[in-house]
Amino acid sequence: MTYPVNIQRLIESIIEIALEEDGEDKTSTALFSDSDVLEARLIAKAEGLIAGLDIASKVFHKVDPSITFEPSVQDGFPVKDGQVLANVGGPARGILKAERVALNFLQRMSGIATATREYVDKVDGTGAIILDTRKTVPGHRVLDRMAVRIGGGKNHRMGLYDMALIKDNHIDNIGSITGAVSRLRRIYPDLPIEVEARSLSDVEELVRLGVDRIMLDNFTLNDIRSAVAMAAG
């Protein structure tokens, strides 16, 4: 799989850091020779949605490019307990060094994708979309976001640079919702804008302003219904 240059760079950096955390595998260095080879299988231990096979493959190849990684399924496919996910072969030292790091990525991403799919299925037919957030483990955002997409969700803003999110502290500093939105549009005319609403009157104002998204902060279920009706026109 190919990725945009900046995403590819982030993925490579995450993998390098993970491998650096482990350092040299002194156990395998001592107990296996350069000529020892292994064949291994990655097997699912529970039902779920698989995600991260491509990342796992990159981990093995980062440790030793001669390692073969042959997936039996593709990212985004549902798997059953006991199902073979991939076959791995090559130098024993390399496989054993890469094994845990590859599995860590695969397990985390599959867990996120599986949980996301459960929520996506629950809102199927409603028109609602499941979005992720920036509340990710530092350094893992690109992979967590990838897993959300594999699970059928959509990505919210990737960082602070690709969408403005005007919250209560911004509004209070400027003095009004309209003032904050107008100022942002003047400085960053092409930047999508989301605004946190604290009341139905805020929602009414934001609908008039035509912002890209409205965040409903601590709204009751009845107020959420009213806000959705306002936004729908």
Q: Which of 41, 100, 134, 183 is catalytic?
A: 100
- Interior CA angle at 93 toward 87 and 94, to 5°? 55
Q: Which of 39, 70, 172, 217 is catalytic?
A: 217
User: Judging by beta carbons within 10 Å of its beta carbon (0-12, 13-18, 19+), is residue 64 exposed, middle or buried?
Assistant: middle
Per-residue burial over 160-177, b = 16 or more CB atoms within 10 Å of its CB, e = otherwise: eeeebbbeeebbeebeeb
Structure tokens at 42: 């990655």
Residue 130 and residue 121 in contact, taking contact as beta carbons nearer than 8 Å: no
Q: Has 80 been annotated as catalytic?
A: no
> For residue 76, is it left (φ>0), alpha (ψ between -120 and 50) or beta?
left
Q: Which of 167, 185, 198, 213 is catalytic?
A: 167
Q: Which of 25, 196, 202, 205 is catalytic?
A: 196
| Beta bridge partner(s), residue 166 | 195
Q: Has 225 been annotated as catalytic?
A: no
Q: Has 100 been annotated as catalytic?
A: yes
Query: Among the residues of the chain, which ranges form H helices?
Result: 5-22, 26-31, 53-63, 92-122, 141-150, 168-174, 177-187, 200-209, 221-232
Name the CA dihedral angle for 84, 88, 93, 98, rounded to a multiple of 10 degrees: -70
Q: Has 196 been annotated as catalytic?
A: yes
Q: Which of 26, 45, 135, 186 is catalytic?
A: 135
Q: Has 64 been annotated as catalytic?
A: no
Look-up: residue for tokens 């130098």?
Answer: 91
Quote the longest CA-to-CA distance of the chain: 72
Q: Which residues are catalytic?
A: 100, 135, 167, 196, 217
